[in-house]
Chain A
Amino acid sequence: MQSALDHTVAFASSGSFLVQPSTGLTIWTIVVFLLSMAILARWVFPLIRRALDRRKEVIEDSIDAAERTRRDADRLLTEYQERLTDARRQAEDIVQRARQAAEVHARGAQAEAHVRREQLMEQTRREIEAETRRAIEEIRSEVADLTVMATEKVTRMALTEEDQRRLVEEAVRELDFTELSVGGEG
């Protein structure tokens, strides 16, 4: 007990054990350290590196995928916009064409109606003309008959019927009925 105390006092006063490396600790330290390093280098660090690399890859892939998706979306959007513009243009086209067709149709109908009216009027005019002519003929022959009768009454001359008629007709032909015709027409 006394010797242990002396031992302690001797060390405490010098403190030399602090700077005197403990042999046991030295050997244990290097052995344990090298062993730890071997284990870490062999089994642990590669695992960590792999995990980090993989995570980096995953992140890069995700970024790539996102980029790709965005590009696809952009492309789709442009496509849809183009298609929409196209559709709008087509619709406008169709409307335009329909309007044109309607116009053409309307114009055609108008023209046809016009033609038809013209035809009807022409026909009417021709019928009137024919009637007029017939009426004139009738008047003419009536006048001739009346004249013959009148002449007969006045002259009582023995002119044959044939002669009289010829004479009257000659006279009548010299008469101008155009004025009558124009008046009838107006």
Chain B
Amino acid sequence: MSFVQNMSTRAKIGWGFLIAWLGGTIVFAIAYGITSHKAASIVSGQFSPIDEFRLDTWFKIGPIAINKGVLFILLAAVLTVGIMFWVARQMQIRRPNRVQVAVEWFYDFTRQMTSENMDDRLARKYFPLVATLFVFILVTNLIGYIPLPLETSNTFNLFGVHVPSFQIYAADTNVAFPLILAAMVFLLFNYEGVRYHGPIGYVKSLIPGGVGRGILPLIVVIEILSVFLRLLSLTIRLWANLLAGHLLIAFMGGELGVLVGLPFISWFLLPLGVLIFVFEATLIAGLQAFIFAILTAIYIGDSVHGHN
């Protein structure tokens, strides 16, 4: 076994993982067979992979329901405001640490984002909106990758207590969250457009120059449609990205094996699940927040200056 001793630590770990991965797959295949053994709840259709995104109403305050999504929103808000407030206070007295540098970068970046897409007046007015959208969506996305015991429809028994299952849930996976934020942005950029151009002028400003009289009605319809499509694209981009990401993590993290009743598939796909998790948490979470924020800036700036 001298070749094992000669290997570097990194190589040992790498080979260890590879052997555990492939060996585990084989062990599972032998132990449970390669014929499907679906769980009863799956055969009956009682279990559905999208059920974890269902929002069970926990309790109601008047007509307003409190559920898992609401808890995540509140958590995101508290974290957002708390962290930003703490950093802002720290910045008044201390030399910068890493968190402060990140917040400063975020601040400058957002300021650049607003000032490049809007004139000075609008940039000043909408900086708080763009910045808050950025950081709020970012925090909402990020806490969506922390496993929390919140799956109330599916409990496990811990010393006699029914604890909700752990799950990674993001408020963005319910369409309500991106939709209401997108609707707010939609209202704001139309409001700014109408305020600047007047109602007729705003519609005119949507039409690109040099359009022939013949196809003008068609262009008007298309352009107005495209304005409404912004609302949809803002909503669906964020929602679908996060939902798909979470579904992929769940599938690759073991659910697929459960669904098809083959445990070795769960083991085999686990590394992929981990990779997707890292990819989603490090890149997609920030990217989607950034895209939402910069599109807000672009749409508002566009509605005043026209996109011609």
Contacts and interface: CB of A to CB of B under 8 A. Distances in A.
B65 interface: yes
A12 B179 contact: no
B62 to A, nearest CB: 10
A51 B91 contact: yes
Interface string A12-39: 1101011111111111111011011101
- In which size bucket is the chain A interface? 35 or more
Contacts of A153: none
Given A47-B91, A48-B104, A21 B179 contact: yes
Interface string B46-59: 11101101110100
A20 B173 CA distance: 11
Given A8-B46, A27-B64, A51-B91, A40 B181 contact: no
A87 interface: no
Given A26-B179, A48-B107, A52-B108, A33 B50 contact: no
A9 interface: yes
Given A12-B50, A49-B107, A40 B73 contact: no
Contact of B51 (A8, A35, A45): A8
A44 B45 contact: no
Contacts of B171: 25, 29
B229 interface: no
B167 interface: no
Interface in B238-259: 243
B213 interface: no
A32 B64 CA distance: 13
Contact of A22 (B47, B67, B129): B67
Contacts of A48: 84, 87-88, 91, 103-104, 107
A149 interface: no
Nearest to B85: A44
A94 interface: no
B77 A33 contact: yes
A11 B54 contact: yes
A29 B132 CA distance: 13
Nearest to B55: A22
A21 B180 contact: yes
A5 interface: yes
Given A44-B85, A48-B88, A29 B175 contact: no
Contacts of B176: 21-23, 25-26, 29
Interface residues of B, number: 54
Given A29-B180, A43-B85, A22 B50 contact: no
A35 B155 CA distance: 33
B11 interface: no
Contacts of B74: 28, 32
B179 A18 contact: no
Given A25-B69, A45-B127, A19 B54 contact: no
A36 B104 contact: no
A41 interface: yes
A119 B268 CA distance: 133
Contacts of B87: 48
Given A5-B46, A9-B45, A33-B136, A24 B67 contact: yes
A50 B107 CA distance: 12
A47 B93 CA distance: 11
Given A18-B175, A26-B179, A33-B77, A44 B65 contact: no
State the 4 A-B residue pairs at the shortest beta-carbon distance, nearest first.
Answer: A24-B65, A12-B48, A21-B176, A41-B128
Given A24-B55, A25-B70, A26-B180, 4 more contacts: A22-B69, A25-B176, A28-B66, A52-B107
21 contacts: A9-B45, A11-B51, A12-B46, A12-B47, A12-B50, A13-B45, A15-B50, A18-B174, A22-B67, A22-B69, A23-B176, A24-B66, A24-B70, A25-B174, A28-B70, A29-B176, A32-B77, A33-B136, A33-B181, A36-B81, A48-B87
